[in-house]
Every structure is written in C-alpha cells, then in structure tokens.
Chain A
Amino acid sequence: MTDIIIIGAGPAGLTAAIYARRAAKSVLVLEAKSYGGQIINTPDIENYPVAAHISGFDFATKVYEQAKALGAVFKFEKAVGLRDNGDTKTVITAKNEYEAKAVIIATGSENRKLGVEGEDKLVGRGISYCATCDGAFFRKKDVAVVGGGNTAIEDALYLADVADKVYLVHRRDAFRGEEAGVAKLRERDNVEFVLNSVVTKLNADRRLQSVEVTDRQGNVRVLEVSGLFVAVGRVPENQNFASLIELDSAGYAVAAEDCLTGTAGVFVAGDNRRKEVHQLVTATADGAVAATEAVKYLNA
C-alpha cells in the first residue's frame, strides 16, 4: 500500500510529492490530464521568486522532473471518488482503485463556463477561456470579453493590443478588478464597456459570428464579434470528494492554512482550497504544508 496518494499533478500536488518523498514516504500521484496544471497555459511567469521569467511549460516540467527523480510514481488517471476506511483511504478512478494511508487532494480549478446554449460546441471556434493563449487568432478582428474581475480586465487590456475592437461585457456597472486596470482600459479608443449586460445568445455558423447581449432594462444588442473571451472565474475541482471534505457555497474546500479537512488523513492543497490568493507560490506552499501534515499523521 502506498503511504500517500496525491490527486492532481499541478504545482500544489507536485510540491507535495517532493516534500513527501524527502520524508521517505511512498507517493503515488494521480493526474487526469498531464502534469503541470493550469500554469502550462502561460508563456511567461514573472512573479515566482528566483526566476524573473520562465514559461509555464518549463516551470511544470522542472517541478515534475524533480518529483520524479525523488521517486514519486505517476499514473495518468482521473480520480472520480474517495472512500474513507478509517486507517486507509481508497481512491477510485475509472478503471482502478488505489489504497493509501493518507490522501492529498490537489485538484486545482477549471475555467467557469458562461452557461449559454451552444457554448461547448464553439470552444475553439471563437470561444476561449484564455486571452494570452488564443488572442493571436483574433489579430485585427473584433472580440468581446465577459467578466468583471482582474482576469477580465487583464484579458481586455491584452486583447486591445491585438484585436481591432474589444467590448468588455459585465453584468454590473462596477468592476471587482483593480481600478488601475479599469482606468487603463478607459484610455483605450478601441475598448467599449458594455455594462449591466449579460450574454444571452451566441450566433454561429461554423464559427462564432456575433453575440447577443441583454441589459437590465431588457434591451437587446448584437455585438458583431468573431471571438468571445470568457473570464467569469474558476470552479474548484472538489465535487468528486465532497462526501469527505467540507465545501463552501462556491465549491472550495474549507480548510485552514494547515490544509486539514474534517476527515483524518485527508488533506487539501492548492487552488481548490478556500483562500485569498490563488497563485503559484501559495499553491506550492500548500503542497509543502499538506505533505508535512500528512507525514505527521502517518508517523503519529
């Protein structure tokens, strides 16, 4: 039996693997897609201590290789359930069941969808959740960004340099994101704010052709855009483990800085944990703390 199963090979899970292996515990990491997590989407990380510039891919690959060299075992399977048997835990995947003495859930988060009909079919055909990833496809075109937080503001700023025209659609008239960013957007001639409005329809043939927005008064307007960037937040990936960990109303795992959950031997680390700052440094910090707590639990 494995000492510690880590679910998710993002920055939090990989760091937990490093700490657990250095404490001489056997480690199995289960990952649904590929190691690295969200960070592989960014071409340039500029705020992680030590490296002034590093691509998300290189960052992920370095941490993965470090964990692997220390002896962590990786299996690319998605965890769909978790069972508490007291002294042991069972992690369920589509094809297998794995047993461990402790489990660290480091499943991070996914992009929140808009929830408008036809959205799924248009992903990659005009709809995107990452401006820095897909912005280049909209050079000299008209696009819209939906959202009111920092990501939406940063996306709109980024796209204003690339696209011809950028509409920023937000359901309120005030932004949650930083005022400085909003001020910069106001200075741009090619950015138009579409406030108190929500996206109500996607018009498409083979790809997105236009977006219908409706304001609070019920007025409908059609924006002729070939790209729609959805920046309405992220959804933590905790649903599969909800029977053993407490979740808040937004789906985040409720656990303090010690990463303990209500179930002994089950820990949470990274972006799926409720906290103020969801960044690489806090994800890796969680990984270290959760692994240390798991080791303490195993040695008790």
Chain B
Amino acid sequence: MSVIPVNENNFEREIINADLPVLADFYADWCGPCRMLRPTLEAIAADRSDVKVAAVNIDENPDLADEFDISSIPCVILFKNGAEADRSIGLVPREALEDMLG
C-alpha cells in the first residue's frame, strides 16, 4: 500500500472506521523533519499489510490538528479501533514507529 492522503472529509472513513491500525502522520510541506520522515512512512506502508499509513496536512486541516492537540510536527498518531493508542513526535527512526505498532 501507499500513504493515503486524509483530510477532514475522509478522516472518519479512512481512520476512525478503519479495519486495520492506522499510523496517521500529521505534517506540513514547510516542515523539514516531516519531509525527512516521509520515506520511512512510505517504507512501512509498502512493507506491511497489517497497518494502514495515512497523511494529514495540518495547514489544510487545522481543525484536525487542533482536535488532537498537536503543537509540534511531525506527529504520528497510532489509531486502533478509531481511538488514539499512542503517538510519536519529531523525526524518529523506523524502529520507533514499528515499536509503537507492537
């Protein structure tokens, strides 16, 4: 799979109602660490069929960023059964995200 762009309109469907755990990357184009982290998320999306990887642009979806109390990006939130299970802030190595998945 690839990284799925998510916005306010499809958030419910793609993340809250997803069958699989979702890693949702809250990012912005101007954010260097976000751009650095993107290949890692793409690799997880490509390698793992047991998780879904989504990307939320916080400039285009400020209400979502607000709803999840995000004040620093990249912020990768792990959603399980529609609820936040964990989150990771800043540029982290792939293992850190995989550890979060358990």
Contact = CB atoms under 8 A, between A and B. Distances in A.
A40 interface: yes
B36 A40 contact: yes
Interface string B13-41: 00000000000000010111101110010
B32 A42 contact: yes
B32 A56 contact: yes
A34 B75 contact: no
Contacts of A138: 71
B89 A123 contact: yes
Contacts of A34: 36-37, 40, 91, 93
A201 interface: no
Contacts of A41: 32-33
A125 B71 contact: yes
B72 A128 contact: yes
Contact of A43 (B30, B73, B91): B30
B91 to A, nearest CB: 5
B37 A134 contact: no
A244 interface: no
Interface residues of A, number: 30
B90 A124 contact: yes
B59 to A, nearest CB: 8
Given A34-B91, A76-B93, A57 B69 contact: no
A125 B32 contact: no
Contacts, number: 69
Contact of B32 (A43, A124, A128): A43
A207 interface: yes
Contacts of B37: 34
B93 A32 contact: yes
A123 B72 contact: yes
A55 B71 CA distance: 21
Contacts of A136: 28
Given A34-B37, A57-B32, A40 B72 contact: no
Interface in A39-90: 40-43, 55-57, 60, 76, 78
Interface in A105-120: none
B92 interface: yes
A236 interface: no
A57 B28 CA distance: 13
A126 B93 CA distance: 23
B33 A137 contact: no
Contacts of B91: 33-34, 40
B70 A124 contact: yes
Nearest to A135: B71
Given A40-B32, A43-B30, A57-B36, A128 B71 contact: yes
Interface of A: 32-36, 40-43, 55-57, 60, 76, 78, 123-128, 133-134, 136-138, 206-207, 226-227
30 contacts: A33-B91, A34-B37, A34-B91, A34-B93, A35-B36, A36-B36, A40-B35, A40-B36, A41-B33, A43-B30, A43-B32, A56-B32, A57-B32, A60-B32, A76-B93, A78-B93, A123-B90, A124-B70, A124-B72, A124-B75, A124-B89, A125-B71, A126-B71, A127-B71, A128-B71, A133-B73, A134-B71, A138-B71, A207-B71, A227-B71
Interface of B: 28, 30-33, 35-37, 40, 65, 69-73, 75, 87, 89-94
Given A40-B36, A124-B90, A134-B71, 18 more contacts: A35-B36, A36-B32, A36-B36, A40-B32, A40-B33, A43-B30, A56-B32, A60-B36, A123-B89, A124-B71, A124-B72, A128-B71, A133-B33, A133-B73, A137-B70, A137-B71, A207-B69, A226-B71
